[in-house]
């Protein structure tokens, strides 16, 4: 009873060292590899891995897009994201899109093997630094001040019940500007609707 693994990484070197690492655990079998996600769907169809080790920064079709494609078509396949930096936005984009874990490239080898095992068993594997960031999003404190002056102004007008168009008129800018501000507000607050934005406003900013 082995764990079938597919590796995506644009560096041949890196793929080789990963294969060397994984070969230490006889339960793990690297069934195939690729330098990017252009053929992600076919890859999965052909090799039906249990776990995908996914680098984020790859040319052509990157890991975030690959993750989406794979989870969309094969929700049962576990995808473990792997990158050099702990970029907050990418972490959340990944988790939102169904990643089973997020590890860093300089994590200890033992950690990586452990992570694969965890996600295969249905758990989630997060590098501790990543885990901290995730938890941070549940304490709204520091987010309060993260909005720019304009974003705060837009949010307060939305909280009055104004539509994008009305806010645009009131501030003398175009609709698209308000759309952009709102997108940034949603990004910063990690929400995705006007209702959540207004609830946030009255709960934390009022």
Q: Which residues bind its own copies (CB under 8 A)?
A: 158-163, 191, 193-200, 202, 206
* 156 touches DNA by CB under 7 A: no
Q: Select 145 or 206, whichever has its Cβ closest to its own copies.
A: 206
Contact 57, 22 (CB under 8 A): no
Instruction: Please tell me whether residue 24 adopts helix, strand or coil conformation.
Output: coil
Residue 30 φ then ψ, to 5°: -80, 110
User: Segment contacting DNA (CB under 7 A): 15-23, 35-43, 77-85, 148-156?
Assistant: 148-156
Is 144 a binder of DNA (CB under 7 A)? no
Output 121 or 139, the one with its CB closest to its own copies. Answer: 139
Looking up tokens 């295969």 gives 120
Shortest CA distance to 17 belongs to which of 125, 120, 101, 112? 112
Report the residue count for the chain.
206
Both tokens of residue 138?
A: 């549940």
177 binds, among DNA, its own copies, none (CB under 5 to 8 A by kind): DNA
Binding DNA by CB under 7 A: which of 77, 102, 181, 201?
181
Binding to DNA (CB under 7 A): which residues in 87-126? Answer: 93
Separation of alpha carbons 3 and 143, rounded Å: 40
Q: Does 194 bind DNA (CB under 7 A)?
A: yes
Question: Whose Cβ is closer to DNA: residue 122's or residue 149's?
Answer: 149
In angstroms, the CA 8 to CA 52 distance is 8
Residue whose CB is less far from its own copies, 60 or 96: 96
Indicate the burial class of 40 (C-beta count within 10 angstroms; 0-12, 13-18, 19 or more). buried
Give me the residues that bind DNA (CB under 7 A), please. Answer: 64-65, 93, 148-151, 163-165, 171, 173-177, 179-183, 186, 192-195, 197
């Amino acid at each position: 009873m082995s764990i079938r693994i597919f590796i995506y990484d644009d560096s041949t070197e890196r793929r080789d060292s990963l294969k060397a690492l994984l070969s230490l655990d006889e339960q793990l079998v690297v069934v195939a590899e690729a330098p990017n996600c252009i053929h992600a769907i076919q890859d999965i169809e052909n090799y039906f891995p249990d776990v995908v080790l996914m680098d984020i920064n790859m040319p052509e079709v990157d890991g975030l897009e690959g993750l989406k494609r794979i989870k969309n078509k094969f929700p049962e396949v576990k995808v473990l994201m792997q990158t050099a930096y702990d970029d907050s936005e990418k972490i959340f984009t990944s988790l939102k899109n169904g990643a089973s874990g997020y590890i860093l490239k300089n994590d200890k080898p033992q950690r990586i093997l452990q992570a694969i095992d965890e996600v295969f068993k249905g758990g989630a594997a997060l590098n501790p630094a990543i885990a901290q960031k995730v938890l941070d999003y549940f304490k709204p404190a520091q987010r309060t001040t993260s909005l720019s002056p304009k974003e705060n102004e837009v949010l307060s007008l939305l909280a009055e019940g104004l539509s994008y168009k009305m806010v645009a008129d009131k501030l003398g800018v175009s609709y698209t500007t308000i759309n952009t501000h709102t997108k940034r507000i949603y990004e910063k607050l990690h929400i995705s609707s006007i209702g959540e934005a207004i609830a946030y406003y009255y709960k934390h900013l009022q």
